């Protein structure tokens, strides 16, 4: 089996690459390293004889022209992500995420199978407006409550990609699977997401310990479980043409309680200082995984405490990623 990972040096991409190599795949990783990193983890992967790593600009159509065809699986993971990145430059988010998707669509060949990485952010406006239930199924309305708000640039770019892949696949004779990720976390994910960000502040001894959005709720999914879901979806014939949630619906947690868990794992006891959530942050998020279960038999395997412990251990050892 041969797999092409576009954006494969980033957080989910590297974990997926390791899994595919362990399963006997030959893989090619393409990344521009604006977010994916040249580090020990990538160098270890690069040393494997079945792995090829290319540095290239995926917003440039010429990059795709240099790639061969004949892939069993193609994963599109390249995107500008992260709330801080999105709010600082929403125009870049729209431009990069759209160009990467459109160039891949122009290039992909009939008979190939593509996984398009999307996001639960497409529901944020509907949840806060009270028109989308939680846990959330894939067939509820996707709603952007304020298209001018910088935070929604990411959701808009991903909705465009979803529509483009699903309609083009049907017309052009290739398979497309859309995975909407719900709060995936784990080692090596950067420092701008809630669990690693809390872990780094706990290591630094912050006191009082700030907890923005302490009254909000999330259902966090360890990256190992997310990769398992992706692999199963790409092997499931019935997943073609589907939008499918990827997440963990078993341990929805309050953000204040998450902070207490991180501090317990860190063996730290600072005072907790709750503060308001960032603007545009949805109050509650949890996926309905009925479709994923029906297609693949997937069940989350990593408990929140296990995942937080492994993530905290990685950040305590490696510190803040450069």
Higher pLDDT, 154 or 279: 154
What DSSP string runs through 22-82? HTT-EEEEEE-SSSS--SHHHHHHHTSTTEEEEE--TTSHHHHHTS----SEEEE-----S
pLDDT tens profile 5-37: 999 999 999 999 999 999 999 999 999 988 667
Task: Give the burial string for 70-101 (b: 16+ CB within 10 Å, else e).
Answer: ebebbbbbbbbbbbebbbeebeebbebbbbbb
Q: Given a cut of 70, is residue 322 above it in pLDDT? A: no
State whether CATH 3.40.50.720 applies to domain 2-318: yes
Q: Is-above-0.75 flag for pTM?
A: yes
pLDDT tens profile 200-228: 999 999 999 999 999 999 999 999 999 99
CA distances from 87 to 71, 149, 154, 283 (A): 35, 9, 9, 18
What's the CA gap between 63 and 25, in Å, rounded?
Answer: 23
Domain boundaries in the chain? Answer: 2-318
The structure tokens listed for 97 are 């995420």
What's the CA gap between 78 and 117, in Å, rounded?
Answer: 8
Would you call the peptide bond into 208 cis, given omega within 30 degrees of 0 as the criterion? yes
């Amino acid at each position: 089996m041969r797999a092409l990972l576009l954006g494969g040096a980033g957080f989910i991409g590297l974990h997926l690459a390791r899994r595919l190599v362990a399963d006997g795949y030959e893989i090619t990783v393409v990344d521009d390293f604006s977010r994916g990193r040249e580090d020990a983890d990538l160098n270890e992967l690069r040393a494997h004889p079945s792995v090829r790593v290319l540095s290239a600009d995926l917003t440039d159509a010429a990059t795709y022209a240099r790639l061969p065809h004949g892939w069993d699986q193609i994963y599109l993971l390249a995107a500008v992500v992260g709330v801080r990145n999105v709010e600082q430059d929403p125009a870049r988010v729209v431009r990069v995420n759209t160009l990467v998707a459109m160039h891949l669509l122009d290039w992909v060949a009939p008979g190939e199978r593509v996984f398009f990485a999307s996001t639960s952010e497409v529901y944020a406006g509907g949840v806060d407006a009270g028109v989308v239930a939680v846990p959330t199924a894939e067939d509820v309305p996707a709603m952007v409550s304020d298209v001018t708000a910088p935070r929604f640039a990411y959701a808009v770019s991903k909705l465009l990609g979803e529509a483009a892949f699903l309609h083009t696949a049907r017309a052009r004779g290739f398979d497309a699977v859309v995975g909407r990720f719900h709060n995936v976390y784990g080692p090596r994910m950067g420092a701008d997401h809630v669990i690693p960000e809390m872990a780094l502040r706990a290591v630094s001894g912050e006191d009082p310990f700030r907890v923005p959005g302490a009254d909000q709720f999330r259902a966090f999914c360890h990256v190992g479980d997310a990769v398992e879901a992706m692999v199963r979806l790409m092997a499931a014939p019935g997943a073609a043409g589907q939008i499918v949630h990827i997440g963990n619906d078993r341990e929805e947690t309050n953000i204040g309680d998450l902070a207490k868990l991180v501090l317990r794992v860190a063996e730290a006891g600072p005072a907790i200082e709750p503060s308001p959530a960032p603007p545009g942050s949805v109050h509650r998020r949890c996926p309905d995984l009925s479709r994923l279960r029906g297609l693949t038999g997937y069940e989350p395997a990593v408990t929140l405490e296990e995942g937080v412990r492994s993530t905290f251990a990685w950040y305590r050892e490696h510190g803040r990623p450069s």
